[in-house]
Copies of this chain bind each other. A is one copy, B any other.
């Protein structure tokens, strides 16, 4: 079959470019190159082409908990439970606004939420999206992890299975990934791989990429498309925006803050540069078509653009969406924000283009 559209573009690009000559890898130059001294600055809150609702998120002060340095799974869980207690009461309203029903069940022994939109076009009825939530591998247990799945079901009109993967202190690396892949295997019993997509944000974006790497390791067929949102694709603090957006991103704030502490808890001594923890170092040839989402103030802007570039350099159709002024993962904080609807509508349209083929 003659490749079409974006796929044709990528194939033309790959055919034309001497991929081997393109820079890949993370070897620090020796001697090191000179650093740049950036002076202190006042950053006005951006507003152009940004909705007032999103402006309110962008203009928030730095996350007051950014420097929480949890040492154990129990400490992280205590925080996660407190945070979840604030999220869970908002879920009925969200389900109602987005016309989505939520069912708690298990698949292959893994707890999941099945999210079904009231309005599902015929071409979406045989498709399944597997959602892996974010939260630095320790946050958003239970229902509180399902919000992004609800938004996707509601805005993109697909059935979503949101994986309530085990987290510290119950389980550590690679259990989150094991649980997500178990659910994928269960889904494959009734659904063709090309009718399945993986998606998630932050740790969920990393898990999305890790699931593809692990599926290939396990000899499973790959899904039809993926949407890694601002993925924690490199947890070794490598990547320019870990520095340029330090104390600019008001969500993560710092490469050495709570999210890094949480990742160390989850990794439990495992090598952070393992592609199953830092998937930017994985082999991405043959990956499914991908749509990536980030913001200009995102601490993980570089984590995102490096994955985008690596996918293209590996011959994978991949597109990048960057939202003006947004910090880490803000495109999925509130379903009533116009940019949230926009982001999920774009991802849904991308899935509509690639799933089933």
Contacts and interface: CB of A to CB of B under 8 A. Distances in A.
Interface of A: 4-10, 12-13, 16-18, 21-29, 32-52, 54-56, 58-59, 61-62, 155, 234, 238-241, 243-248, 250, 280, 296-297, 301-302, 305-306, 308-310, 312-313, 319-325, 338-339, 341-342, 345-346, 348-350, 352-353
A199 to B, nearest CB: 16
Contact of A38 (B10, B34, B41, B345): B41
A246 B306 CA distance: 22
| Residue of A6, A27, A39, A241 contacting most chain B CB atoms (<10 Å) | A6
Q: What is the predominant secondary structure among interface residues of chain A facing chain B?
A: mixed
Contacts of A50: 23
Contacts of A238: 48
B24 A49 contact: yes
Contact of A346 (B18, B44, B247, B312): B312
Contacts of A312: 346
Contact of A42 (B38, B46, B250, B297): B38
22 contacts: A4-B5, A5-B7, A5-B8, A6-B6, A12-B349, A13-B349, A16-B349, A18-B341, A21-B341, A22-B339, A26-B47, A29-B45, A29-B47, A35-B43, A35-B45, A38-B41, A38-B247, A39-B247, A46-B302, A48-B239, A240-B297, A305-B323
A59 B35 CA distance: 7
Given A33-B59, A42-B37, A322-B308, A13 B240 contact: no
Contacts of A16: 155, 345, 348-349
Given A45-B32, A49-B310, A325-B302, A342 B22 contact: yes
A23 B338 contact: yes
Contacts of A9: 5-6, 349-350, 352-353
B44 A246 contact: no
Contacts of A247: 36, 38-39, 41
A297 B206 CA distance: 24
A38 B45 CA distance: 12
Given A29-B47, A239-B48, A302-B325, A17 B342 contact: yes
